[in-house]
Structure 1
Amino acid sequence: MTDIARERITVAKTIMTVDDSPSMRMLLRVALTDLGYDVIEAEDGVHALEKLGGVEPDLLITDINMPRMDGFGLIAEVRGQGRRSLPILVLTTESSDEKKQRARSAGATGWIVKPFHPDKLAAAIRRVLH
């Protein structure tokens, strides 16, 4: 293994993406791995909480409208578990001020509107991770 490859492995940050759309999860996976991040995927809030039992991601990116548990519920649960320092970005088609305020009140760190541009996604991630 080269020194560069070894360095990438040791510094790679992990991002959990939560979205009920397989195509959106795939788009996020491609964009995030191209940026050098490791990606863990979940299909809704319940699935994300199950996965969070065994991993400590550096960032959580969640949709709002999902079955079983929506993004608002997921954010509240994550914050309720004491994960106050975990940055949470909301990635959604929703753009109303009321929804943004509700997400902020639940504990979201930031907001990105779908469809996302990879450069804007990268900038939002840099703001909350570095």
Structure 2
Amino acid sequence: MMTDVVDHSGGPTRSGAEQPSASGSEPATAQPAGALTGTAEPTAAARIVQIRERIDEIDNALVALWQERAALSQEVGATRMASGGTRLVLSRERDILERFRTALGADGTQLALLLLRAGRGPL
């Protein structure tokens, strides 16, 4: 999936794809020093590339874990409903919300809400 992002100069860029050249016909291959890292200093640029590679690895792991969690949660819900149980267990959802809020603050609450929705669908 490609998403638009804005670089520090204010211009949109495409993540996950090469940038078109000024003519629009071919991908740009020669970029000014620092265009990809935000710095022309070689040591800092190399370190930024290394850090970003690790960030990408973490992002891939998060996506895989998100998908696994959603599938497991859906299975729990289907099993519960097939056995005559309720669609939701609100006390469980409250516990999850509290756990994430305690660990991550307000952003944790928002993350937990997204995780819960991924597993059970919208309310």
Give the TM-score normalised by structure 1. 0.25
Higher strand share: 1
Higher helix share: 2
